[in-house]
Amino acid sequence: MKNRIVVMLCVVVVLVMGACKKDAPKELASVGGSSITQSQFDTYLQYKRIPVTDGNRKGRICDQYVERTALAHMIEEEPVLDKDLMAVEFDELKKEMLIGRYFEAYLKEAVSDQAVLNYYNMHPEEFEAKKAHVAHILIRTRSNMDEVERKAKLTTAHEAYSKVRAATPFEEAAKNYSEDRVSGEKGGDLGWISEGAISPKLSEVSFSLKAGDVSEPFETPFGFHVVKLLEEPRVIKKPFESVKGTIRYQLRENAKQKEVDRLLVKADIVKH
């Protein structure tokens, strides 16, 4: 059996030697009665992204291409492989390639850079948020804390608040008292926080203050806070560069689903 395959391959190689050179005819070779054409080989080079300008190299690649075709043809005749299973695998690979390549091309056209920018400009409310520049002093609590310890924490929060009321700079009090060490090292500065994007109580208090105001201690699930509003709330729009990837993804998903629905309706599926 092995000898038969070897003989067949040798015959094919002999037939195609020279057929794959620069001035090759349209039909390069024949394997099992099926032609291998110049067009097929050129498409193979395109698929492999092989820019071949050297005639000798092109001939070697062509010989390898024909040999692989012959080998695959001979293996198909052997009883070693499960042909039904292979047929299913080939079919699934074909589906995957068709669907993937189609939507790659379709979405490139359907969702252009201009379409992404247009969506950003036409839906400003999706990229705007009311934000306030806030600083805080946090005295942390735990859910399993007893009442005595909890009252001690509240006393510490009131002490920090009193210091601020007595003209101690808020930044200094935050560094001395806050148990949020990250913001504490920055004088309690939390940056610009979005309304409703944090604890409801913290958001409510922060957005009710005027610039420069300091709140009395209040409690959230994180602990006791003393908040200072550094800058008045304002509507801030996210820059296009920071959201264009998200917009593109959403537009592509929507466009893909619409095209899937259109194609499936057109397919006229009937289940039995």
Tens of pLDDT, residue by residue, the chain (272 residues): 444 544 444 444 444 444 454 444 588 888 888 889 999 998 989 988 888 777 788 888 989 999 999 999 899 888 899 989 999 999 999 999 999 999 999 999 999 999 999 999 999 999 998 999 999 999 999 989 999 999 999 999 999 999 999 999 999 999 999 999 999 999 999 999 998 878 899 999 999 999 999 999 999 999 999 999 999 999 989 999 999 999 999 999 999 999 999 999 999 888 88
Is the residue at 177 inside a domain? yes
Domain harbouring 184, CATH code? 3.10.50.40
pTM above 0.85, yes or no: no
Shared domain check, 64 and 165: no
Closest to 134 (Cα-Cα) out of 83, 205, 84, 81: 205
User: What residue numbers bound the domain in which 8 lies?
Assistant: 2-80
Q: Residue 33 in contact with residue 76, Cβ under 8 Å?
A: no
Label the pairing between strands 34-37 and 27-31. Answer: antiparallel
Q: Residue 220 in contact with residue 199, Cβ under 8 Å?
A: yes
Q: Which of 22, 47, 80 is at the close of a domain?
A: 80
Judged by DSSP in three states, 49 sits in coil
Q: Residue 38 in contact with residue 27, Cβ under 8 Å?
A: yes
Shared domain check, 232 and 135: yes
Closest to 235 (Cα-Cα) out of 207, 205, 201, 215: 207
Is the residue at 209 inside a domain? yes
Shared domain check, 143 and 72: no
Is the residue at 211 inside a domain? yes
Phi/psi region, residue 137 (left: phi>0; alpha: psi -120 to 50; beta: rest), is beta
Q: Residue 263 in contact with residue 256, Cβ under 8 Å?
A: no
Shared domain check, 60 and 140: no
Shared domain check, 213 and 141: yes
Q: Which helix (DSSP H) or strand (DSSP E) does residue 29 occupy?
A: strand 27-31
Which long-range CB contacts under 8 A does 197-204 form with residues at least 24 apart? Answer: 197/129, 202/136, 202/227
Q: Residue 228 in contact with residue 170, Cβ under 8 Å?
A: yes
Is the residue at 261 inside a domain? no
- Count of structural domains within the chain: 2
Is the residue at 265 inside a domain? no
Two tokens, residue 53: 């300008």
Shared domain check, 62 and 136: no
Distance from C-alpha of 202 to C-alpha of 217, rounded to nearest angstrom: 11
Shared domain check, 131 and 233: yes
Mark 35-46 as b/e (b = at least 16 C-beta within 10 Å): ebeeeebeebee
At residue 20, the pLDDT reads: 54
